[in-house]
Structure 1
Amino acid sequence: MELRIFTEPQQGASYDDLLAVARTAEAAGYGAFFRSDHYLAMSGDGLPGPTDAWITLAGLARDTERIRLGTLMTAATFRHPGPLAISVAQVDAMSGGRVEFGLGAGWFEAEHTAYGLPFPSTKERFERYAEQLEVVTGLWGTPDGGTFSFEGAHYRLVDSPALPKPAQAKIPVLVGGLGPKRTPALAAKYADEFNLPFAGVDAAVEQFARVDAACEAAGRDPGEITRSVALVVCVGRDGAEVARRAGRIGREEAELRENGLTGTPAEVVDKLGTWRERTGISRVYLQVLDLADLDHVELVAAEVAPQL
């Protein structure tokens, strides 16, 4: 099972804060450093303010060497698909082919109104999301020398040169969420990885089964899609350290134990074993909420990862 680091910079982080976590994660042997794509804190003051996801990843592409980089999830409401495909391909080239691309429909209305971004209905957001997946992957997949055209309800491209191309032959695409119908169908069509954020084991079992069924209906082998989850992490060498870390992020320890990966390294390894046995996941994104606590990142790498 691969462990990855997942951060929420909108809650309060500078680029230097994120770089410190990414470099620590790289040195500790994590598989990837991911970040959210939000412009507004969900709680607290969010100081010093938000950082843009793809500008951050462009910087990390040059300031790290080996760790993979990506988003959970880029919001389709923030960007047009043509320029987005250019940005992600450029960051992939800047990183030497280490980018992974998570795309979602967008959901947080307050950040849209705070920064002057349209926030369509749920129906329209999913329509735009589906079209963006088709456009972005279509641009990247167009053969050299060819052109790409698209006529949708929300986006229209005519004879695009479909440049630049990513450094990788194929940038991995992540789709995720608990939607019962459209989400599994989009995953079956586009996803290299399906991610469930902050779900319980039972809900995950049901959703992964829906994705498998959608793959089979589309004539695709479900085994081609990596299964992953994102869970908040709060690990301590003993109970006192667990309690201290829970307090630092403003969460109740009992709630974290129920909904996240919380406890001593041995307790967290046992919980990950249950996840693996019941859901078949092979990748976990550890939501790290105290970005100043680099010892936490190193502890999990040293005492949890080797047991997986």
Structure 2
Amino acid sequence: MDLRIFTEPQQGADYDTLLTVAKATEDLGFDAFFRSDHYLRMGSADGLPGPTDAWITLAGLARETRRIRLGTLMTAGTFRLPGVLAIQVAQVDRMSGGRVELGLGAGWFEEEHKAYGIPFPAERMARLEEQLAVITGLWATEPGSTFDYHGEHYRLENSPALPKPAQAKVPVLIGGHGARRTPRLAARYADEFNMPFASITDSERQFGRVREAAEQAGRKADDLVYSNALVVCVGKDDAEVARRAAAIGREVDELKANGLAGSPAEVVDKIGAYAAIGSSRVYLQLLDLDDLDHLELISARVLSQLR
């Protein structure tokens, strides 16, 4: 089981904070550092000092880390044209020496689009499908050849399809709860399917849909990695769990029901239950980025038991 650290910087984190967490992620033995791609805080947080751009952040971290994988859960397809995003991700992959992964979604948070003047089209899933075709098509084009694409939403003509990523294949992550279109897109384009903030029962059902879609598309179902993203709140005792839950504005019972919360033993057991239905990777949503003791505890008492 891989454990990855997943951050939500739009809630209030500058680059220096993210760098500190990323370096701790690397030093403490976690597999990867991922971040959301949002420009507006959610809920009651003040969001200060303001948003950071996901791919600019990852470019900086690419030069300041050595081992960990770096990526997004999920880049919003509404934020960037697919040709531009293909260039950005390829460049950051080269800057990292081949450690980047691209999580790509349709975009959903309308308020942040209004706040920063970003179009929020109705046909986002149709656009996402074309974006996936464009990005993967550009990366797959042999050097010296050109790439053309004529879709309803995007047209590329005589593209040199450069630069190329450092990796022969940048892993593409697709996720979500959709019953039909999401599994189909994952089966066609994804290296990993991520189920965000879902129960074991719902995850198992959705994994089954993706596995079925993969087989219908002519792929082996096990070609894909199946993963979950879950909020994490671990403490050495009940008081520490309660303190950490209060710091992120959540209730302990709710976190235990819907995330990974409690003692290290409780969290290890619940991760094991997700592993039993086919999940081989968990993104730990770390909401208090100033609590590095939390990371150290998870490394020492949870990660160590899953290796």
Tell me the TM-score normalized by structure 2. 0.99
* Mapped contact 1:196–1:230 kept (Cα < 8 A): yes
Give me the identity figure in percent.
Answer: 69
- Give the SS at the match of 2:33: strand
1:91 aligns with 2:92: yes
- The equivalent of 2:119 in structure 1 is 118
The CA distance in 1 between the partners of 2:57 and 2:274, in whole Å, is 31
Which residue of 1 is the match for residue 51 of structure 2?
50
Q: Compute the displacement of 1:296 (Å).
A: 0.5
User: Which secondary structure state, in structure 2, belongs to the residue aligned with residue 273 of structure 1?
Assistant: helix
Match of 2:245 in 1: 246
1:180 corresponds to: 179
* Alignment partner, residue 297 of structure 1: 295
Q: Tell me, in whole angstroms, the C-alpha distance in 1 between the residues paired with 2:207 and 2:3.
A: 19
Q: Which runs of 4+ in 1 moved over 2 A?
A: none
Q: Give the structure 1 partner of residue 138 of structure 2.
A: 139
1:41 matched residue in structure 2: 41
Matched, 1:127 2:126: yes
Separation in structure 1 between the aligned mates of residue 204 and residue 66 of structure 2, nearest angstrom:
36
Q: Which amino acid aligns with 2:10?
A: Q
Between the aligned partners of 1:272 and 1:213, the Cα distance in structure 2 is: 24
For 2:121, give the aligned amino acid.
Answer: P
For the residue of structure 2 that corresponds to 1:304, the secondary structure is helix
Q: Which residue of 2 aligns with 1:24?
A: 24
Q: How far off its partner does 1:307 sit?
A: 1.1
Q: Does 1:63 align with 2:57?
A: no
- The 8 Å contact of residues 25 and 298 in structure 1, kept in 2 or not, is answered as no
Match of 1:102 in 2: 103
Match of 1:10 in 2: 10
Q: Unaligned 5+ residue runs, structure 1?
A: none
Partner of 1:286: 284
Length-normalised TM-score, structure 1: 0.98
CA distance in 2, matches of 1:110, 1:296: 32
Query: Which residue of structure 1 aligns with residue 268 of structure 2?
Result: 269
Separation (CA, whole Å) in 2 of partners of 1:219 and 1:61: 35
Matches of 2:133 and 2:215 in 1, distance apart? 20
Residues 40-96 of structure 1: CA deviation (Å, up to 9, x unaligned): 001211000000000000000011111110000000000000011000000000000
In structure 2, how many angstroms separate the alpha carbons of the residues matched to 1:128 and 1:89? 21
Residue equivalent to 1:77: 78
Distance apart, 1:306 and its partner CA: 1.5
Q: CA deviation at 1:276?
A: 1.1
CA distance in 1, matches of 2:274, 2:164: 37
SS class of match (1:29): coil
Residue by residue, what CA displacement relative to the aligned partner does 1:133-189 show, whole Å, maximum 9, x if unpaired?
A: 000000001011110000000000001000000000110000000100110000000
Q: Measure the CA separation in 1 of the matches of 2:255 and 2:188.
A: 34
Partner of 1:192: 191
Q: Please name the residue that 2:304 is paired with.
A: 306
Hey, what does 2:164 align to over in structure 1?
Answer: 165
Aligned-residue CA RMSD (Å): 0.5
| Correspondences of 1:222-261 after superposition (within 5 Å) | 222-261=221-260
